[in-house]
Amino acid sequence: MLKFELLQNDKHSTNDLLRPKNLRFSSRTNHIKTRYGQAKMTIMKYYILTLLTFCSLSLFAQNGPAIINDSDGFTNVRLGPGTDFEVIDTLFNEDFFYFKTDGNSDWAKVTAWKGRQIEGFIHKSRIQEVKKLDSKSRKEIIIKVLDRQRTLADNFRAAWKAKDSLAYRTTVKELESYNDTKYDPILQVIPEYFCSTSDIEIIDKFFATMWADKGSANEMPSFSIGDCFICNPDLVLERLNKIIDKEQKELILDHIEWGLMNHFEVDEDGNSDSKEYNELIERIKKERKKASP
């Protein structure tokens, strides 16, 4: 069974409602802290949970993440598809959002998270999907987000070690906000970029960020690195073997395995009829044996 033991007032991010997904919990993991130490999950067996969304627009039915394409550095979000509708919010240059288009309209319905859910309409000409940027631009965005996520995670850990309650609360808030608004969206971009470029700098920075962010039970990094491993296992393992710290290496292997279980159809015992899955899992097992003392 799965139970939650609240360690303090648990405040789950509303943005989780924007990302309905299948979560697979491994029997290998008995205690996981969700969202930086706010709750503890005790997992007795391997489960698949289907989360339902309460939002009117599911991100799985949308395109993105995207950024605005506007020389003014911002664009207005309107209540309806046209300039006659009220402006209800604003999207700025570095805000990520998701969108859904109607072929018969010049306007797109958008969903964004900026501490609260934003839902409205912007003109199609103002949309730049991140995956359609050139490789240099995509890399710059990915590196900027990974570097900032790593810095925030380091700040959180420093506050925790110093037992500074005020700094702890501040860094938790900053880190969770950045997860929701920047890190999680860019995690959806990393696999496509890495698989098309084989960029080792990105995979190395991703490893470093996962290690810095090891206090989080956010499953999105696992999904992302799992997809990277599926498309180029040789290069991922080559970079992984550059890591000396055994604990760091084991953590990343856990992320990869978790991502593979999410990607492929597996039963409650973690088995699959997929030949590709079994071959990839065997490679993970071999790496674990190599890393063992």
Cis peptide before 65 (omega within 30 of 0): yes
Residue 227, both tokens: 């997809």
Q: What whole-number distance in Å separates Cα of residue 78 and Cα of residue 2?
A: 42
More confidently predicted of 219 and 51: 219
pLDDT reported for residue 103: 80
**In the structure, what pLDDT confidence band is assigned to residue 190 with cuts at 50, 70 and 90?**
very high
Please determine, for residue 293, whether its predicted confidence score (pLDDT) is greater than 80.
no
More confidently predicted of 146 and 266: 146
Helix/strand/coil for 234: helix
Neighbours of 276 (CB within 10 A): 12
Q: What whole-number distance in Å separates Cα of residue 66 and Cα of residue 94?
A: 9
Please determine, for residue 3, whether its predicted confidence score (pLDDT) is greater than 70.
no
Beta bridge partners of 128: 67
Helix (H) or strand (E) holding 37: none
Please determine, for residue 31, whether its predicted confidence score (pLDDT) is greater than 60.
no
Helix/strand/coil for 97: strand
In total, the chain counts a number of residues equal to: 293
Q: Which CATH superfamily is domain 59-131 in?
A: SH3 Domains (2.30.30.40)
8 A C-beta contact, residue 266 and residue 272: yes
Residue 42, both tokens: 């005790």
**In the structure, what pLDDT confidence band is assigned to residue 249 with cuts at 50, 70 and 90?**
very high
pLDDT reported for residue 16: 35
Q: What whole-number distance in Å separates Cα of residue 210 and Cα of residue 239?
A: 14
8 A C-beta contact, residue 33 and residue 6: no
Q: What whole-number distance in Å separates Cα of residue 152 and Cα of residue 159?
A: 11
DSSP assignment string, 105-119 = -SEEEEEEESSSEEE
Which residues, including other chains, have CB under 8 Å from residue 80's CB and lie 6 or more apart? 121
Question: Mean pLDDT across the chain, nearest whole number?
Answer: 82
Give me the residue spans of the domains in the chain.
2-50, 59-131, 133-291
Mean pLDDT, rounded, for 197-203: 98
Q: What whole-number distance in Å separates Cα of residue 205 and Cα of residue 283?
A: 22
Which long-range contacts link 4-7 to residues 24+ away (Cβ below 8 Å)? 4/39, 4/40, 4/41, 5/39, 5/40, 5/42, 6/38, 6/39, 7/37, 7/38, 7/39, 7/40
Q: Note the pTM of the prediction, 2 decimals.
A: 0.80
